[in-house]
Structure 1
Amino acid sequence: MKNTYRTTSLLYALLLPAAALAQDASQGADAQELGGVIVTGTRQSGLKAADSPTPIQIIDAGALERSGQAGLIEALVQNVPAFTSDAKGGDASALTLAARLRGMSPNHTLVLVNGKRRHGTSNLNVSAGAFQGGAGADLGFIPVSSIARIEVLQDGAAAQYGSDAIAGVINIILKDNAEGGSAGGEIGRYYDGGGNTNNVAVNAGFQPWGSGFLNVSAETKYHGHSDRSDFDARFVAPQLTAANAAVKQVEGYPYVNHTFGDARVRQDVLSANAAIDVGGVRLYGLATYGSKQAEAIQNYRGPSTAPTVYPLGFSPVETHDEKDYALTLGVKGATAGWNYDLSSTFGRDNASVGNIDSINTQLLKDTGSSPTRFYEGFLKASQASTTLDINRDLDVGWSGPLNLALGLEHRVDSYAIGAGDAASSYRGGAAAFPGYSASDAGSHSRHSNSAYIDLAGSPLEQLKLDAAVRAERFSDFGNAVVGKLTGRYDPQPGLGLRGTVSNGFRAPTLAEDYYSATTVSPTTASVILPSASAAARLLGLPPLKAEKSQNISLGVIARPSAKLSASLDLYVIKVRDRILQSGTLNGYLNGVLQSPVVNAAIAANGNIIPAGITTSGVSVYSNAADTRNTGADLVLGYASNYGGWGQVDWSAAANVNRARVTDVKAAPAQLSGQAVLDQTARSYLEDSAPTYRVNLGALWRSGGWTVNLRESIFGSSSYAATLDNKTYYENRSGTKFLTDLDVTRQWTKAWSFSAGVRNLFNVYPDQLNGDYRKALNAAGRQNVAQYASFSSIGINGAYYYGKAAYRF
């Protein structure tokens, strides 16, 4: 007893000093984080977040609204310190925002909607950087107005949910109210210009039948281009040539290149969530549909490129016309003492890729004419899954019943690339992004079957145990068996110790196996070779196999009073045979031959490098390395009441994460000494995420006023860049402090108005290494990006907005 008292005192001493700043990440600790019943990370019913044996954060609808963010990813980034997003992707990656949890890949976080697996995007992130290779679910197609709460499980859960759940699980729970609703709108823009935003959202609940509900949401969103590009050094002395002298007539010269900024996006999203009780069972369904038209400005081409068509040069624009939809139908009930849930889900994402304000210079040269608008082809990804989950409580003489859960899943994944029109890929293709060629095109699929068993119960009143085992068989790479053991011990009320040991796996996405494309800048061209292709075998790289992971976490949860809550969780995530996109493997570098086999692989894959390119190369996905992520998550919450001065919920939430490459696979001899994982690619893994992230907040309520003040602290991040694979430059951005302010006035019972600003003091990342940028200029390279494109604080500075909402 004496030792227990000392342990308790020590833990309180560690956790209490931060209480004065505390409020949990959901900004509603008492109602949600501690009192809410959770459905993620457990098969038991009625388990509260306060009693969870695994770390889980709950973000309710109010926290999403107060974030001042129009998109779901951005709102999650603001509320969950371990969750970070991409600031700007290149080419097609600029059209789909990527995000990741605990410094892992976007592919390592499983997304569920109402507990059902969500399909991934067809738009594979191929931009060099921290989010490279990501093809997870696009959260932008979930209407924010449809969400009741989000449960973020920050723990490995592959044994419970299958492939992908290595870093954690995001489970989006949709609203199920059968009456009432809301309508609202937002306008906003960046302080330094651009990013003009207009959003309108409606949510409504109905009861069209005797029991059950129908809840629907609709949103329309518009976000305009922003431009944070520097001047283009290619078109000023000493790089400016006589052939390009007309560039001086371009408005804004020498700021003629507008590629570094947000894409323009117009998006409409719909959702429906419904259920009805019939004959003692519940029939349920949910559906989402989204349509997105997006445009990303590409690098400027000078007047000499196509003077007869574009005498002042031109900036190609890559476009996506994307459709995304998902449908789940299911039935749940109870029979013979067993609870059952049988459901089928189908989801598809289809993007039609275009290129406008462009030209195929080789076609123009050969025939005297060329289109300026091109159909580049399409990308398509779909997933169909059928699951059966059953469970029951068994009396085995413990302090509580033992929950036995069993389940089966059958899943079919498919991925396809469709070729563009002939002009888009003719002899090197259209400027900026050559269309998908016949050699890129193809349709691929695989299926998998899995079964799991999960046992959860309390042998003692103070002890909770949960054990799960899952077996999966994939049609394309074989079997996987994984397990998880979780426990929690509460030595006394208000104090809990928890821990998890698990192993997991991640099957390569079909996009990682089969994606193929050519990307072109004014002087360089790079081909992404399909990992499953004969061209990749020429490079000596074997077919992809599944990643294997190990996850260990230890945590403490304290609730010394009704107003104060705290949790601290430490974790280690090891991944063996991690699937990574290689750095650029050069055929030619600055006009000098580096590796004949790389050029042979390009030819073998049927890709053509445009004329005038001095640097050519390939990249390919492979099981390139083993990695280890270590870190900690801290969440604290404290609620205070100041009488006539109102109530304040204080908050503090933090994540510390360190990623390291522990082993690099040997490069094949065919690559002539070039590394598959070069220093740049390695730095994306190890250094590009903030070393730490802290969220501090105060939510004040009084009468009809609500003021939400948040301070976000981002630790330093960096990456290495090179022009010749010999000299590397460190591009570092130091610690940054961002302040967000949202003020809401409840004018009447129905009407409310809000005004706010994100990044109040207009903070930008540190600029890229000056020596690196000088070297780019000296080499005549395009050099308009002032900051790292994956900056965790964005690249646009302050954003101001106003909102109005009506509840009925």
Structure 2
Amino acid sequence: MTADGTPEYLINKYPAGFNPMEKSEEDDVSLTLGLAGENEGWLWDLATVYGSNEMDVYTTNSMNFTLWNETGQSQENFYDGTYWAKQWTTSLDASKEYDIGLAAPMTFATGLEYRKDEYGIKPGEPASYYGAGASSFPGYNPATNTGSYDRNSYATFLNFIFVPTNDWLVDVAVRYEDYSDFGNETVGKITTRYDFTDSLAVRGTVSTGFRAPTLGEGFYSAVNVGPTSASPQLQPNSAAAAELGFGAGLQPETSENISIGLVFTPFRGLTSTIDAYQIDISDRIQRGSFSFSTGQGTNTITGRTTGSYNSQLPDPADTNGDGTPDASFNEALGQALVKFGYIGVWNDPAAPGGSLDPSARASISVSMFNNSLDTRTTGVDWVTTYSTGFDWGSIDWTVAANYNKTEVLDTKAAPASLGGATMYSLSGLSNIETNSPEYRINLGARISVGDFTINIRENIYGPQYTLSSASSYPLSVRNELDLVTLGSGLYYKNQINELYMTNVEVSYTPTDSLRLSLGMDNIFNEYPDKTPSAIWDYNQERYANTSRAYLTGSPVGFFGSRWFAKLGYDF
């Protein structure tokens, strides 16, 4: 029975609770065709590449509360829909050498490229999105989440390579691209290398660049829901995003890059390079989020969309219980989400997205890709290769290491319609700078014996961490956490320590065209660190655990070892 005497079964199919799960089935297709040749001194290469990916998404061990409340029945497994992407690229490159009186002929290269991108989301079965939809992950709703999108782009480039002296090389290039959805961009680079001796050279590059947003970044939309929360992801190019003040949609990132390095070849077979670099990215594409809350602590019973009740909970606008509404409280955001059907309408359970009962406690956060950040990444790359030959075969050794650091230089203000909300919290900005390994080390050995090749790779990833708010946890829990003070907030570290991943692949090449491979990634079954035990145990005791067992963001992932087999044939 609930506090007001309502039988539990009237609002919940699972009186003891349930644990929804997501399942997916994925298909990948790729095809590459090419033709190369020479004609009157021109070396040319014509290629076309096609690739597609399709993923069917399911929610299992779940229910649709709206259907349950209206009919007394609800299925447990739902087909949520399918998202897919296709890309077709065709390019023609050509190069020719011209003698212009320098130490070596000048190389001139040019090319053309056409690319077509397609992306779409297909709706799920009606029961997956009707009303509140499947609990945990509602199906893709044709009213707000689905559609098909495409764009075309055309590109051309010019490249000149000069050799003024026997020891000096200069490489100059410019590239122009025109996109059907956001216009054109021109980028360029200048690279130079000078050999002081046969064993020592210095090199450097200055360049500009850009990255077009993928169609998935621009048009993906979905909703994740929990017992007292909903997290819609808006399309940056949607009417709802424009309503919130993001009318320009998603734009390309642009970058300025500079690097300088040394090349060291002390003797035959050994080459070592070290490069320092700095990359400034403007209008970086990053997913940000804003929050909106409803309900009061004196509510009698929550809306039928959640089936949960707790009269002791504080006003959700005051999530840390200090008596002051949080800065993240943003009713304007909630009203915009209601207007465009992302979270339903007031007290209408059958509406898309279900009922948003203003007397029910709920926390709603919306995420969306945007161009609100400028960042700088500085780092050092070191690569050394060495080849050794034996009577029975050879071994190619590789040692590579990378250290880099990212700094947020600037954040753009949120639109005025969001009522003073910040694009990123202090912890969010910190996580952008710390949620990647401090360093990476790759050790490799490629052993060749006759028709067999054994490739062994050891990948070492340095530590990384993110910050999460600790203010809502009791002192007994906070005392067991690695706490950090940031501004006026108290946070705990989600620390992922150094990780080691070993990969092995064995290949057999019986003919010049046929190649058979068998391998295993992460053969020692490494996993990242787990969610802090104090947080996990506390949430488990309150039946409120929405955490994953393992921390996310690790390059190792949390799927353990993976076996694979490959068959390759060259025509």
Q: Same fold (TM over 0.5)?
A: yes
Aligned partner (choices 112, 117, 120) of residue 408 of structure 1 = 112
Partner of 2:335: 600
Partner of 2:475: none
Partner of 2:324: none
Q: What CA deviation, in whole Å up to 9, does each residue of 1:469-517 have, x standing for no partner?
A: 1112222222211101112221211222221111011112222222211
CA contact (8 A) 2:129 2:139 kept: yes
Report whether the alignment pairs 1:636 with 2:371: no
Q: Secondary structure at the match of 1:600?
A: helix
Report whether the alignment pairs 1:367 with 2:71: yes
Q: Which has the higher contact order (CA 8 A, sep 6+)?
A: 1
**Whole-angstrom distance in 2 between the partners of 1:776 and 1:480:** 49
**Whole-angstrom distance in 2 between the partners of 1:377 and 1:741:** 34
Q: 1:333 to 1:769 in 2, by over 3 A?
A: same
**Whole-angstrom distance in 2 between the partners of 1:595 and 1:526:** 14
Partner of 1:679: 426
Aligned partner (choices 542, 555, 558) of residue 792 of structure 1 = 555
Q: 1:404 to 1:512 in 2, by over 3 A?
A: same
Aligned partner (choices 18, 24, 48) of residue 320 of structure 1 = 24
Q: CA deviation at 1:463?
A: 1.8
Q: After superposition, where does 1:492-511 map in structure 2 within 5 Å?
A: 492-511=197-216
Report whether the alignment pairs 1:520 with 2:255: no
**Whole-angstrom distance in 1 between the partners of 2:174 and 2:208:** 10
What residue identity is the alignment partner of 1:434? P
Partner of 2:140: 436
**Whole-angstrom distance in 2 between the partners of 1:540 and 1:720:** 28
Q: Secondary structure at the match of 1:363?
A: helix
Q: What CA deviation, in whole Å up to 9, does each residue of 1:712-753 have, x standing for no partner?
A: 4322100011377954322223334x374869899x999999
Aligned partner (choices 180, 183, 187) of residue 478 of structure 1 = 183
Q: CA deviation at 1:568?
A: 0.9
Q: CA deviation at 1:619?
A: 0.8
Aligned length: 502
Q: Secondary structure at the match of 1:686?
A: helix
Partner of 1:64: none
CA contact (8 A) 1:652 1:694 kept: yes
Q: CA deviation at 1:676?
A: 1.5
Q: 1:457 to 1:779 in 2, by over 3 A?
A: farther
**Whole-angstrom distance in 1 between the partners of 2:240 and 2:278:** 36
Which of 548-557 and 775-784 deviates more?
775-784
Q: CA deviation at 1:698?
A: 6.2
Q: 1:741 to 1:479 in 2, by over 3 A?
A: closer
Q: CA deviation at 1:566?
A: 1.0
Q: CA deviation at 1:754?
A: 9.1
Q: Secondary structure at the match of 2:130?
A: helix
Q: Secondary structure at the match of 1:511?
A: helix
What residue identity is the alignment partner of 1:603? V
Q: Secondary structure at the match of 1:561?
A: coil
Q: What CA deviation, in whole Å up to 9, does each residue of 1:301-328 have, x standing for no partner?
A: xx979865x5765443433333333444
Q: 1:453 to 1:722 in 2, by over 3 A?
A: same
**Whole-angstrom distance in 1 between the partners of 2:139 and 2:550:** 29
Q: CA deviation at 1:530?
A: 1.0
Partner of 1:718: 465
CA contact (8 A) 1:488 1:498 kept: yes
**Whole-angstrom distance in 1 between the partners of 2:188 and 2:507:** 50
Q: Which has more helix, going by share of residues? A: 1
Q: Secondary structure at the match of 1:592?
A: coil
CA contact (8 A) 2:157 2:174 kept: yes
**Whole-angstrom distance in 1 between the partners of 2:112 and 2:78:** 45
Q: CA deviation at 1:686?
A: 0.9
Aligned partner (choices 241, 244, 250) of residue 544 of structure 1 = 250
Q: CA deviation at 1:604?
A: 2.6
**Whole-angstrom distance in 1 between the partners of 2:264 and 2:35:** 39
CA contact (8 A) 2:43 2:96 kept: yes
Flag structure 2 segments of 5+ consecutive residues without an equivalent: 296-313, 318-328, 344-352, 473-488
Q: 1:344 to 1:765 in 2, by over 3 A?
A: closer
What residue identity is the alignment partner of 1:423? A
Q: After superposition, where does 1:375-774 map in structure 2 within 5 Å?
A: 375-438=79-142, 439-542=144-247, 543-588=249-294, 592-593=316-317, 594-608=329-343, 609=353, 614-639=362-387, 651-696=398-443, 712-722=459-469, 726-736=489-499, 738=500, 740=502, 758=522, 760=524, 764-769=527-532, 772-773=535-536
**Whole-angstrom distance in 1 between the partners of 2:77 and 2:403:** 47
Partner of 1:203: none
Which of 697-706 and 558-567 deviates more?
697-706
CA contact (8 A) 1:588 1:595 kept: no
Q: 1:307 to 1:530 in 2, by over 3 A?
A: closer
Q: Secondary structure at the match of 2:266?
A: strand
RMSD: 4.0
Which of 521-530 and 648-657 deviates more?
648-657
What residue identity is the alignment partner of 2:464? S
**Whole-angstrom distance in 2 between the partners of 1:444 and 1:688:** 31
Q: CA deviation at 1:776?
A: 4.6
Flag structure 1 segments of 5+ consecutive residues without an equivalent: 1-240, 244-302
Q: 1:704 to 1:527 in 2, by over 3 A?
A: closer
CA contact (8 A) 1:729 1:771 kept: no
**Whole-angstrom distance in 1 between the partners of 2:251 and 2:334:** 26
Which of 497-506 and 456-465 deviates more?
456-465
Q: Secondary structure at the match of 1:597?
A: helix
**Whole-angstrom distance in 2 between the partners of 1:350 and 1:464:** 45
Q: Secondary structure at the match of 2:289?
A: coil
Q: CA deviation at 1:755?
A: 9.8
Aligned partner (choices 49, 53, 57) of residue 349 of structure 1 = 53
Q: CA deviation at 1:759?
A: 6.1
**Whole-angstrom distance in 1 between the partners of 2:48 and 2:57:** 30
**Whole-angstrom distance in 1 between the partners of 2:132 and 2:12:** 19
Q: 1:777 to 1:539 in 2, by over 3 A?
A: farther
Q: 1:696 to 1:347 in 2, by over 3 A?
A: closer
With the length of structure 1 as denominator, give the TM-score of the two structures: 0.55
Q: What CA deviation, in whole Å up to 9, does each residue of 1:622-656 have, x standing for no partner?
A: 11100111111111234567999x97765422110
With the length of structure 2 as denominator, give the TM-score of the two structures: 0.76
Q: 1:313 to 1:571 in 2, by over 3 A?
A: same
**Whole-angstrom distance in 1 between the partners of 2:2 and 2:15:** 13
Q: CA deviation at 1:382?
A: 2.1
CA contact (8 A) 2:12 2:65 kept: no
Q: After superposition, where does 1:119-130 map in structure 2 within 5 Å?
A: none
Q: What CA deviation, in whole Å up to 9, does each residue of 1:24-75 have, x standing for no partner?
A: xxxxxxxxxxxxxxxxxxxxxxxxxxxxxxxxxxxxxxxxxxxxxxxxxxxx
Identity %: 35
Q: What CA deviation, in whole Å up to 9, does each residue of 1:144-193 have, x standing for no partner?
A: xxxxxxxxxxxxxxxxxxxxxxxxxxxxxxxxxxxxxxxxxxxxxxxxxx
What residue identity is the alignment partner of 2:42? W
**Whole-angstrom distance in 2 between the partners of 1:408 and 1:806:** 29
What residue identity is the alignment partner of 1:790? G
